[in-house]
Amino acid sequence: MGSNPDEVITTELLQGLLRDWFAPWIQAMGLRVSSFGDGEVTLVLPQSEQLSRVGGMLCGQAMMAAADTAMVLAIVTQLGTRRPMTTVQLNSSFLKPLSEQDARITARVIRAGKNLAFGEIDICGANDGRSVCRASTTYALL
Amino acid sequence: MGSNPDEVITTELLQGLLRDWFAPWIQAMGLRVSSFGDGEVTLVLPQSEQLSRVGGMLCGQAMMAAADTAMVLAIVTQLGTRRPMTTVQLNSSFLKPLSEQDARITARVIRAGKNLAFGEIDICGANDGRSVCRASTTYALL
Amino acid sequence: MGSNPDEVITTELLQGLLRDWFAPWIQAMGLRVSSFGDGEVTLVLPQSEQLSRVGGMLCGQAMMAAADTAMVLAIVTQLGTRRPMTTVQLNSSFLKPLSEQDARITARVIRAGKNLAFGEIDICGANDGRSVCRASTTYALL
Amino acid sequence: MGSNPDEVITTELLQGLLRDWFAPWIQAMGLRVSSFGDGEVTLVLPQSEQLSRVGGMLCGQAMMAAADTAMVLAIVTQLGTRRPMTTVQLNSSFLKPLSEQDARITARVIRAGKNLAFGEIDICGANDGRSVCRASTTYALL
């Protein structure tokens, strides 16, 4: 546990991981790293017709994908980039629809043990700040 | 509850819903309706570089998206197309990685009540038939 | 939505609901209402041999039961006592063991809509304040 | 992985674990081992006023507790009794109420890897066979 002392986490590094570690289909979402702390990352998902279903609402599948992606980066801020990990479980609750604004995704590591990391994610409207999705997740640290 | 008696569910109708109801980003996955029954649908997700992360493995985000999508169609086989619904909650467990083959997604309605529908989804390798992801989900019927 | 204006929520009322609404087996846990706010309740679960498994650790089953129970009361603080409800789904993550201290359970309503309420629960050691269990849950409002 | 070849699993052994491994509060539920296979256990939870809330329905907390307990035994049938384990996550969906009959709990190991085991649980009425609760769970193998 604990980050590698010789590795400096920056917004650019995290943004680069979005390109290097994730499938092209995930990259196509256009996620941007907005800010980060120790064990916490905030991403912005720009509003897009590509991610909207009938009625102009952000599809729930994109919310889940963004939640999972954000949590990987949140774990990196705490454990560094050299710790392989894999999602074990992700649970999402959809509170209300989101439309006509970007989404802000905040992922936070709740606990990182020897073999497992637990995290929670909030997705809210970037304009009105209202939560639309909450997720909790477990990762295996390999 | 109960399907509309004047509505005949066919593979073509379900395949058409994938185009009409879902975001372009979901359509880009290339999901195909393989078979269906009353309250059950099987989709095939063709292997694709677009959906693969480093190492050639199907990304977990695509599994969750496919699970949610398949369940919408499974509910349609039971309740018809005129019943608006929204995902309330989706819980996914990732059992093992999937690579070098298509994925087969089977969604099944466990119970459809007046206001809520419960479903379960299995995702397995189309070649080896081994489960790689299991999901359970709750939908609100509007 | 919204509480009944003629109903005053007090610690005694909430403590009374623990006796009136729940099974004797739940009452035997000895949960005590510690504090409450609008949409939030904190309970204390006294350390007990009855609830401890080998090794003196609070059993996870008691954590889940306490989480569900606390959330019912949290919803009451927001919607009053005359709104029937039923648990639709509860998801618990067990972060670490708890031993040699009481447990403090904080349940919070995240969103209460027309038909559904969403909540989150944290369970921590009453002495060290460290989270040992996190839960998220969905209730149907009848 | 794999059971200890010198250990014979019997109904009596599993019933004994219910007494030796679990909290007195869990033992008070009165769970009985009904049958088992490789990676699968069925328990019966006798109808009881102690476990019933207003209206005579089995409380959901007892369902979650029974699900977790049954899964521990299901893992034992596959991995033997000498493999310490701990529940990481348990997700329960409550499909409908249960009253005026015993409950039958069937837990099944979906996958047991090196460090993690995944399982699914169905709870149904012992008389009518209808599912009232479905749960999925992840265990850490220590």
Query: For residues D30 and D102, what is the distance between their CA atoms, to the nearest angstrom?
Result: 11
Evaluate whether residue C6 is within a structural domain.
Answer: no
- Residues of chain B neighbouring C88 (CB-CB closer than 8 A): 88-89, 116, 138
The residue with tokens 């969103």 is C111
Question: In this model, does residue B1 exceed pLDDT 50?
Answer: no
Nearest chain D residue to B135 by CA: give it: D136
Confidence grade of residue C55 (pLDDT, cut at 50, 70, 90): confident
Evaluate whether residue D1 is within a structural domain.
Answer: no
Evaluate whether residue C64 is within a structural domain.
Answer: yes
Please tell me the distance in Å from B115's CA to the nearest CA on chain C.
8
Question: In this model, does residue C52 exceed pLDDT 70?
Answer: yes
Mean pLDDT by 10 residues, chain A (142 residues): 68 97 97 98 98 93 98 97 95 97 98 96 98 98 93
- Residues of chain A neighbouring B48 (CB-CB closer than 8 A): 25
Residue B78 in contact with partner chain A when CB distance is under 8 A: no
Residue span of the structural domain in which B130 resides: 11-141
Evaluate whether residue B15 is within a structural domain.
Answer: yes
Return mean pLDDT, chain D: 95
pLDDT at C1: 40
pLDDT at A115: 95
pLDDT at C6: 67
B137: which residues sit within 8 A by CB, 6+ positions away? B67, B68, B71, B87, B88, B89, B90, B91, B118, B119, B120, B121
Question: In this model, does residue D6 exceed pLDDT 70?
Answer: no
* Partner-chain contact D115 A140, CB within 8 Å: yes
The residue with tokens 């250990």 is D7
pLDDT at D7: 84
Contact call for residues D34 and D43 (beta carbons, < 8 A): yes
Evaluate whether residue C2 is within a structural domain.
Answer: no
Please tell me the distance in Å from A49's CA to the nearest CA on chain D.
33
pLDDT digits (tens, 9 = 90+) for D34-44: 999 999 999 99
Question: In this model, does residue C93 exceed pLDDT 50?
Answer: yes
Contact call for residues A96 and B86 (beta carbons, < 8 A): no
Nearest chain C residue to D28 by CA: give it: C25
Cα–Cα–Cα angle for D51, D54, D60, rounded to 5 degrees: 45
Please tell me the distance in Å from C30's CA to the nearest CA on chain B.
31
Return mean pLDDT, chain A: 95
pLDDT at A2: 46
Q: What are phi and psi of A102, to 5 degrees?
A: -70, 165
pLDDT at A6: 67
Q: How many domains does chain C have?
A: 1
Structure-derived torsion over alpha carbons of residues B70, B109, C137, A38, reported in degrees to the nearest 10: -20
Question: In this model, does residue B49 exceed pLDDT 50?
Answer: yes
Structure-derived torsion over alpha carbons of residues D135, B51, A35, A129, reported in degrees to the nearest 10: -60
3-state SS record for chain B: CCCCCCCCCCHHHHHHHHHHCCCHHHHCCCCEEEEEECCEEEEEECCCHHHEECCCEECHHHHHHHHHHHHHHHHHHHHCCCCCEEEEEEEEEECCCCECCCEEEEEEEEEECCCEEEEEEEEEECCCCCEEEEEEEEEEEC
At D58, the amino acid letter reads L
Lowest mean pLDDT of A36-40, B79-83, B132-136, name the range: B79-83
At D118, the amino acid letter reads F
pLDDT at B85: 95
Q: What are phi and psi of D99, to 5 degrees?
A: -150, 160
* Partner-chain contact B68 A60, CB within 8 Å: yes
Which chains neighbour C (Cβ–Cβ under 8 Å, 3 or more pairs)?
Answer: A, B, D
pLDDT digits (tens, 9 = 90+) for D91-106: 999 999 999 999 999 9
Question: Which CATH number does the domain housing residue D104 bear?
Answer: 3.10.129.10
Evaluate whether residue A5 is within a structural domain.
Answer: no
- Residues of chain C neighbouring B116 (CB-CB closer than 8 A): 88, 140
Evaluate whether residue C112 is within a structural domain.
Answer: yes
pLDDT at A7: 84
C11: which residues sit within 8 A by CB, 6+ positions away? C33, C35, C36
pLDDT at B2: 47
Confidence grade of residue D20 (pLDDT, cut at 50, 70, 90): very high
Residue B116 in contact with partner chain C when CB distance is under 8 A: yes
Question: In this model, does residue C125 exceed pLDDT 80?
Answer: yes
Evaluate whether residue C5 is within a structural domain.
Answer: no
pLDDT digits (tens, 9 = 90+) for B12-26: 999 999 999 999 999
Confidence grade of residue B5 (pLDDT, cut at 50, 70, 90): low
Please tell me the distance in Å from C50's CA to the nearest CA on chain D.
5
Return mean pLDDT, chain B: 95
Nearest chain B residue to A140 by CA: give it: B94
- Let me know if A132 is exposed, middle or buried by CB neighbors in 10 A (0-12, 13-18, 19+): buried
pTM: 0.95
Q: What is the mean pLDDT of residues D61-89?
A: 97
Residue C110 in contact with partner chain B when CB distance is under 8 A: no
Which chains neighbour A (Cβ–Cβ under 8 Å, 3 or more pairs)?
Answer: B, C, D
Residue D5 in contact with partner chain C when CB distance is under 8 A: no
Please tell me the distance in Å from D133's CA to the nearest CA on chain A.
18
In percent, how much of chain B has pLDDT > 70?
96
Which chains neighbour B (Cβ–Cβ under 8 Å, 3 or more pairs)?
Answer: A, C, D
How distant, in Å, are the alpha carbons of A17, A41, A86 from that of A4? 16, 18, 19
Task: Please tell me whether residue D13 adopts helix, strand or coil conformation.
Answer: helix
The residue with tokens 């149904």 is D124
Question: In this model, does residue D3 exceed pLDDT 60?
Answer: no
The residue with tokens 């009794």 is D81
Question: Out of B22, B49, B60, whose CB is closest to A59?
Answer: B22
Q: How many CB pairs under 8 A join A and B?
A: 103
- Edge-to-edge strand list for the sheet holding D116-125: C32-37, C40-45, C103-112, C116-125, C131-141, C85-94, D85-94, D131-141, D116-125, D103-112, D40-45, D32-37
